[in-house]
Chain A
Amino acid sequence: MSRFETVIGIEVHVELSTNTKMFCGCSNRFGAPPNTNTCPVCLGLPGSLPVVNEQAVRDAMKIGIALNCEVARSCLFHRKNYFYPDMPKDFQISQYDEPICFGGYLDVEGGRVGITRAHMEEDTGKSTHIGEGGRIHDATHSLIDYNRAGVPLIEIVSEPDITGPAHARAYATELRNVLRSLSVSDVKMEEGSMRCDANISLREPGGEFGTKVEIKNMNSLRSLQKALEYEEARQAELLESGKSVTQETRHWNEADGETHSMRSKEEAFDYRYFPEPDLVPQAPPLSLIEEIRSSMPELPASRRARLAEDWALTDQQIFTLTSVDGLLDLVSDAVERGTDPVTATNWATGDVLAKLKTDGVDADQSGLNGHKLADLCELVANGTLSTKLAKQVLITVMETGKGPGEVVEEEGLAQVSDESELAAIAEKIVNDNPGEAERYRAGEEKLLGFFVGQAMKATRGKGNPQALNELFRSKLSE
């Protein structure tokens, strides 16, 4: 570990999942054919004018409240001016010195992180560079899709309170959990609906802030941490060897695991911010702020406290349940149908999650729901299925969407618990294996497993193991 103290601040851009874009009525749907979700306003055609999306303003306030921010009674939009082909007006409507939310915090593992501000802005379009390497420098031409232009964004800026890469990841993870609980965004880093930029600098413990470097292009929480770890080490090495850190923006390259210089401070833009004259100040009435405040959903922190208290789950279980989309809903629904919370959670965080990961789908895309999970647990509890068979049934349920009962029926998986049927089987096995029976009777008790195994084989795994244990024990002691 180096002798320096790490200082990190994170800017997160979140695409809101409103029905329409920030300043026009175009659909805000991801994945439509290029340039189909466009109109004169989001294409920035001459003479077009922006109109603020009320839902986006409400979502912004919701986010601010969830992050313990103050919601401004009046806020302004500004124009951020710079030339960029992705940006139809060659300026971005954003917020500057009067954001809608400011002065909050988020408690995360590793310590509280201050939230400087959460402000509203519009997204840009997306370029595809056609040519050799798919990079702008060797492209023969570029294609622009303006479907994303004008999509509502919330930029959440943290204070430089983050003390290291792991803390940064914890912050981004918890922020994602909070945003997900608000149902305001898909918050998918791979799809770009949540994007993290980080500022990192090193300093002597307790000393003045060092020169900061901004890093971009981290497409997962894991790469956020990796990029910061790389950058932390790079800066420490520079400082240790008496060199200085250059203030610049660096690009994280996932492939080589390094950051690369994009532009230095000298090349930084002068954005010439000024109040957007086409929009009037936003002044949400107090009643609206109160309405939103009183209808806030349960946030992850209080949900975790509730789960620990009511369901007696471990921290790790709670963390998993609340970090993966839909998992908690699944368990909650099962518990509502009478399943024991710990049992349902064990299934959800174990086999269910493993299968979801293997298939690369979200919980709500699989064939399983809370109802079916409850049924499955019941089939195990009443002895119809062994745990082993239940795992097999679960896979089929998740793949086909069929009910567990139906799967058991179709595949004939019900456990054989019928005494007389099992007794007959046991009888036959004991008779067929006199040598082993003799040895057992002579005290080699571990051979019980052999007999049960033979019986399972004979029932193609459907024999009730407990019942078979009992049967063999009594039969062999006869």
Chain B
Amino acid sequence: MSASTAAAIARSIREGQTTATEVVEAHLAEIERTDGDVRAFLEVLGGTALEQAKAVDAGEVTGPLAGVPIAIKDVLCMEGIATTCGSKILEGWRPPYTATAVRRLVEAGAIPIGKTNMDEFAMGSSTENSAFGPTLNPWSTGHVPGGSSGGSAAAVAAGHAPVSLGSDTGGSIRQPASLCGVVGMKPTYGRVSRYGLVAFASSLDQIGPFSHTVEDAAIVYAAMAGHDPMDSTSLPESVGDPVGAIGRGIEGIRFGVVTELAGDAIEPEVAAAFASAIEGLGAGEVSLPSFDHALSAYYLIAPAEASSNLARFDGVRYGLRIDAADTTAMMRRTREAGFGPEVKRRIMLGTYALSAGYYDAYYGQAQRVRTLVANDFGRAFEDFDILLSPTSPTTAFEIGERTADPLAMYLSDLCTIPANLAGIPAISIPAGVDSRGLPIGLQLMAPALEEERLFAAAAELETRIGFDAKPALTGGAE
């Protein structure tokens, strides 16, 4: 099943060559066979998935994704289904409501097949920060899948689901897509409702798809994008026809390479694959100096918002509670026991950045850098229609390699963070493999609301690159 795309699966179900039940059963079998190697899933939703498949086969559910299994990052709420965010602190919590993005996909016929592993509260670049153990890279199980949406990236790479959902705050979709050899896309901030997405950094978070093809990414994106009155930051503008944009080609599109994202920090093999992938595009170069400060700004803004967003996990209303003599002590002990070290580190960082007397020097300054980054993008998009860079400075690193060095880990998001700070859409597509056979990703960035252009260009590059390598999973692990 692993080669099948969402588009092909939906088509063959529509045309009667197969049934949704067969499709779901085949994917459940594949999860059974190889998820022991990868550990992409925190929970497999076999029962409900088969029920939904029956409804599709009975003609009760139609839509562009009717019968297509989809894996859901465990940061998205689904009514009655445990949602952990990769954290112990949400132990036992079952949301009483479903995220808008998931609801829209289900309405389009997609079948949630499981909840996937992630770095705790989406904080991390390797999925090693999950309280439930790491997910492993399907291409090499000694390596990380990237993160924080590592489970969703690995699930697609391993053929457990043709498409999946992730969330991207600083690269959490694109970086694992790059490390797992799949397509990963972050929409314009506000395109996809965040209602039901457990917040990490509200002003940066966006939900987006993983897939094998750019077309599939466009199909999933189109099914969930569009205004939602439940999210005040949701954009009212029309989504247009992102799927129709596939095949429009790149005639007249001016490509630019951001020099700050293609310099010394990039591993030579990645740089070489990047250069070869963009050959023949006539890409120019553009220097965006503010990007040198983007990473620092991000690591103030995101933790600041997180420190506030994560305050509600206090043991009072839901999730873990460690009892104590009084409420304050109960809250303290609950949070001490419930959060992992990286989450605690960021809460501390963010609390500090917002503190009286430091606010302006840290949070305020970071917001000014954010404005500069957005302005730099605006300037670059006067001369170029699509900006290019490697997605990740390196290919997948080994399990444990960066866990002791947070700063090395933070550098994983060097190339992806600017798009989050500016709120623009970006996509990572596979561009080759390194000498160890580990995938390399290429990032395309477009101006805000220009998803159609982004998909058109990415589809054309996808065809030119002709990436067809596949991970080989033997199965048999526990």
Known contacts A272-B355, A277-B201, then 4 further A-B pairs from the complex at CB < 8 Å, ordered by chain A residue? A40-B95, A47-B196, A270-B355, A277-B233
Q: Report A-chain residues with C-beta under 8 Å of the C-beta of B314.
A: 83, 85, 90
Interface string of A248-278 (1 = CB under 8 A from B): 0000000000000000000000101110011
Count of chain B residues with a beta carbon within 8 Å of a chain A beta carbon: 44
Please pick, from A43, A52, A274, the residue contacting B308 in the complex, using a CB distance under 8 A.
A274
Interface residues of B in 195-216 (CB under 8 A from A): 195-199, 201-203
Please tell me if the beta carbons of B363 and A88 are within 8 angstroms of each other in the complex. no
Alpha-carbon gap, A45 to B201, bound state (A): 16
By beta carbon, the residue of chain A nearest B335 is A83
Interface string of B174-207 (1 = CB under 8 A from A): 0000000000000000000011111101110000
Please tell me if the beta carbons of B312 and A272 are within 8 angstroms of each other in the complex. no
B231 interface residue, CB < 8 Å from A? yes
Alpha-carbon gap, A49 to B316, bound state (A): 19
Q: Using known A-B contacts A83-B331, A272-B351, determine if residue A47 contacts B99 with beta carbons closer than 8 Å.
A: yes
Please tell me if the beta carbons of A85 and B316 are within 8 angstroms of each other in the complex. yes
User: Distance in Å from the Cβ of A21 to the closest Cβ of chain B?
Assistant: 14
Q: Using known A-B contacts A45-B96, A46-B90, A49-B232, determine if residue A144 contacts B356 with beta carbons closer than 8 Å.
A: no
Please tell me if the beta carbons of B229 and A51 are within 8 angstroms of each other in the complex. yes
Which of A51, A142, A274 is most buried by chain B, counting CB atoms within 10 A of its CB? A274
| Residues of A that sit less than 8 Å from B by CB | 40, 43-52, 79, 81, 83, 85, 88-91, 142, 144, 270, 272-274, 277-280
User: Distance in Å from the Cβ of B370 to the closest Cβ of chain A?
Assistant: 12
Please tell me if the beta carbons of A274 and B232 are within 8 angstroms of each other in the complex. no
User: Distance in Å from the Cβ of A75 to the closest Cβ of chain B?
Assistant: 14
Q: Report A-chain residues with C-beta under 8 Å of the C-beta of B317.
A: 43-44, 88
B230 interface residue, CB < 8 Å from A? yes
B354 interface residue, CB < 8 Å from A? yes
Alpha-carbon gap, A43 to B83, bound state (A): 17
User: Distance in Å from the Cβ of A61 to the closest Cβ of chain B?
Assistant: 19
Alpha-carbon gap, A47 to B231, bound state (A): 10
Q: Using known A-B contacts A81-B354, A274-B363, A279-B232, determine if residue A47 contacts B95 with beta carbons closer than 8 Å.
A: yes
Please tell me if the beta carbons of A280 and B233 are within 8 angstroms of each other in the complex. yes
Alpha-carbon gap, A415 to B467, bound state (A): 107
Please tell me if the beta carbons of A89 and B311 are within 8 angstroms of each other in the complex. yes
Q: Report A-chain residues with C-beta under 8 Å of the C-beta of B195.
A: 47-49
Q: Using known A-B contacts A50-B232, A51-B230, A83-B311, determine if residue A277 contacts B196 with beta carbons closer than 8 Å.
A: no
Q: Report B-chain residues with C-beta under 8 Å of the C-beta of A280.
A: 232-233
User: Distance in Å from the Cβ of A94 to the closest Cβ of chain B?
Assistant: 13
Q: Report A-chain residues with C-beta under 8 Å of the C-beta of B83.
A: 46-47
Alpha-carbon gap, A79 to B363, bound state (A): 14
Q: Using known A-B contacts A83-B328, A85-B316, determine if residue A49 contacts B311 with beta carbons closer than 8 Å.
A: no
Please tell me if the beta carbons of A91 and B308 are within 8 angstroms of each other in the complex. yes
The 6 listed contacts between A and B (C-beta, < 8 Å) are A40-B97, A46-B90, A47-B97, A49-B230, A49-B231, A272-B355
Alpha-carbon gap, A43 to B393, bound state (A): 41
Alpha-carbon gap, A49 to B97, bound state (A): 12
Q: Report B-chain residues with C-beta under 8 Å of the C-beta of A142.
A: 327
| Residues of B that sit less than 8 Å from A by CB | 76-77, 83, 85, 90, 93, 95-97, 99, 194-199, 201-203, 229-233, 304-305, 307-308, 311-314, 316-318, 327-328, 331, 351, 354-356, 359, 363
Q: Using known A-B contacts A40-B97, A46-B198, A272-B351, determine if residue A88 contacts B232 with beta carbons closer than 8 Å.
A: no
Q: Report A-chain residues with C-beta under 8 Å of the C-beta of B354.
A: 81, 272-274
Please tell me if the beta carbons of B316 and A144 are within 8 angstroms of each other in the complex. yes
Alpha-carbon gap, A91 to B312, bound state (A): 8
Q: Report A-chain residues with C-beta under 8 Å of the C-beta of B197.
A: 47
Task: Pick the 6 closest A-B CB pairs, nearest first.
Answer: A90-B311, A277-B202, A272-B354, A277-B203, A46-B198, A47-B196
Q: Report B-chain residues with C-beta under 8 Å of the C-beta of A51.
A: 229-232
Please pick, from B305, B318, B327, the residue contacting A45 in the complex, using a CB distance under 8 A.
B318
By beta carbon, the residue of chain B nearest A90 is B311
By beta carbon, the residue of chain B nearest A278 is B202
By beta carbon, the residue of chain B nearest A41 is B230
Alpha-carbon gap, A79 to B308, bound state (A): 8
Alpha-carbon gap, A142 to B202, bound state (A): 32
User: Distance in Å from the Cβ of B65 to the closest Cβ of chain A?
Assistant: 22
Alpha-carbon gap, A279 to B231, bound state (A): 8
Please tell me if the beta carbons of B305 and A277 are within 8 angstroms of each other in the complex. yes
Please tell me if the beta carbons of A45 and B304 are within 8 angstroms of each other in the complex. no
Q: Report A-chain residues with C-beta under 8 Å of the C-beta of B356.
A: 270, 272
Q: Report A-chain residues with C-beta under 8 Å of the C-beta of B312.
A: 44, 46, 88-90
Alpha-carbon gap, A277 to B194, bound state (A): 12
